[in-house]
Amino acid sequence: MSAKLIKGTEIREEILEEISSEVTEIKEKHGKVPGLVTILVGSSPASISYVTLKIKTANRLGFHEIQDDQPDDIAEADLLALIDKYNNDDAINGILVQLPLPKHIDEKKVLNAIDPDKDVDGFHPVNVGRLMIGGDEVKFPPCTPAGIQEMIIRAGVETSGAEVVVVGRSNIVGKPIANMMLQKGPGANSTVTVVHTRTKALDEHCKRADILIVAAGVPGLVKPEWIKPGACVIDVGVNRVGEKPSKKNPDRMVAILQGDVDFDAAKEIAGSITPVPGGVGPMTITMLMKNTLKSLKFKLGLN
């Protein structure tokens, strides 16, 4: 039987609608809208396309959006001064520095300079610590893991007592989602195993999973026989495996994307599964918007 598809594109629309009506309500009652500044350094095409999508989404939601692009050769001190300016700007609730940064800039120093209460990406050590403590301490869960958890909740998958196996231990996906799934609370209370490149018998761990979250960046790593029948499979991997002519404009080539799971075979075994593309991908920007709204709500004492 074919698994239920967990579509990020549909869940994104649901959440954006919810954010939009909250923004309207707060604007009416408090005369404020969430403020987001996006800082793009340089002109990498991939970064431009990510930032453009973020700006478009913020504008669609009626946020106050500032696009503060900077040249590739900006001095680190100038970038730090810019962040300081937005840390002190009352109309800004979220500061987003698009990564990666040019090599002459210390990425860690820049991320650590963002006020943790405006760190809507959730990468500042203070927010990583808050996430580890869990419960009311959490302010801004990092966007991709937050999107994964939201998808699991909205798909109606039982997480309490579930065996969750996370493939990958990166700071932006594997480690935070593992931490979130083991906390007390809705969409969590799971028993979590994290597996990685040094794990022995990866397949044996995956076979136990009621919820299998794969963020390795290796196309087709998870084989269908590693999936427990009826499991929920969240494929975070986005791998460019080739190029094809665009449907809209056949003269232009677009990337062929593949996940970390052999989707066609896996969907015959899993109970529910996310596609690639159109699965976890659309959730990241959505959760960035949610975090920016949350930041304004914290400021207004509405959370």
Residues that bind ligand NAD (CB under 6 A): 144, 167-170, 172-174, 195-197, 202, 215-218, 221, 236-239, 280-281, 284
Matching residue, tokens 């923004």: 23
Q: 189 or 239, CB closer to ligand NAD?
A: 239
Q: 157 or 234, CB closer to ligand NAD?
A: 234
Contact indicator for 153, 187 with CB cutoff of 8 Å:
yes
- Residues 239, 245, 249, CA angle at the centre, nearest 5°? 125
Q: 80 or 257, CB closer to ligand NAD?
A: 257
Q: Catalytic residue among 118, 119, 121, 139, which?
A: 121
Q: Catalytic residue among 98, 149, 183, 258, which?
A: 98
Asked about 89 being catalytic, the answer comes back as: no
Q: 180 or 215, CB closer to ligand NAD?
A: 215
Contact indicator for 176, 145 with CB cutoff of 8 Å:
yes
Matching residue, tokens 């937005």: 86
Distance CA 244, CA 61 (A): 33
Residue 28: CB atoms within 10 A of its CB come to 8
Q: 116 or 237, CB closer to ligand NAD?
A: 237
Phi, psi of 190 (to 5 degrees): -95, 165
Beta carbon of residue 66, minimum distance to ligand NAD (angstroms, whole number): 23
Q: 122 or 237, CB closer to ligand NAD?
A: 237
Beta carbon of residue 78, minimum distance to ligand NAD (angstroms, whole number): 28
Asked about 149 being catalytic, the answer comes back as: no
Nearest to 164 by CA among 190, 137, 196: 190
Asked about 121 being catalytic, the answer comes back as: yes
Beta carbon of residue 287, minimum distance to ligand NAD (angstroms, whole number): 9
Q: Catalytic residue among 54, 175, 267, 290, which?
A: 54
Active site residues: 54, 98, 121
